[in-house]
Amino acid sequence: MKRLAVFFSICLFAIGAFAQDVDPKIFRYHAMQIAKHPKITKTFSMIDEQQNFYLYVDVTAFDEFYLKEPIEDQGFKLFLWKAGEIGFYNVEQFVTLVTLMQPKDNQVIYEFISQVDQKRFLVQTLFTKQGEDWQLTALKRTRIKMAKTCKFPKL
């Protein structure tokens, strides 16, 4: 019983350490920096006839980040939407925010999952606060390889 209590205490501490609240305004700023990154625009953005980039980010798991209107900035439009709230038509590509961690007061890590055609990707980003400004200090895009065959035991 003591071991179970210690285990739950460790879990609660870990959740408290990594489940920090990020202000929605800060997230919007971070999301726009991510949307402008070449590794994102090349693979995950949609482009209109005027060469404007559109990035759709599904924030269903993070209700506080949802916006009804897109954020626009110099040829970029960022849609922070959630399933069921707004119906977008012809959205061929989008990323889904799945994890937000704040291991230190001056760091925020976001993880996104996306599928483009038959390829799945994990996108990990690290923002570091330097003085009063947040900087995108690392962005890693990793292709997720799906299992080719999977044999399940017969029941």
Q: What is the pLDDT of residues 32-60, one digit of tens each?
A: 999 999 999 988 988 888 888 999 999 99
Residue 100 and residue 108 in contact, taking contact as beta carbons nearer than 8 Å: yes
Per-residue pLDDT for 90 more than 70? no
Domain 21-144 has CATH 1.20.1050.10: no
Cα 83 to Cα 80: distance, rounded to the nearest angstrom: 10
Per-residue pLDDT for 15 more than 70? no
Whether pTM exceeds 0.85: no
Per-residue pLDDT for 135 more than 60? yes
Per-residue pLDDT for 153 more than 90? no
Q: What is the DSSP letter of 25?
A: H
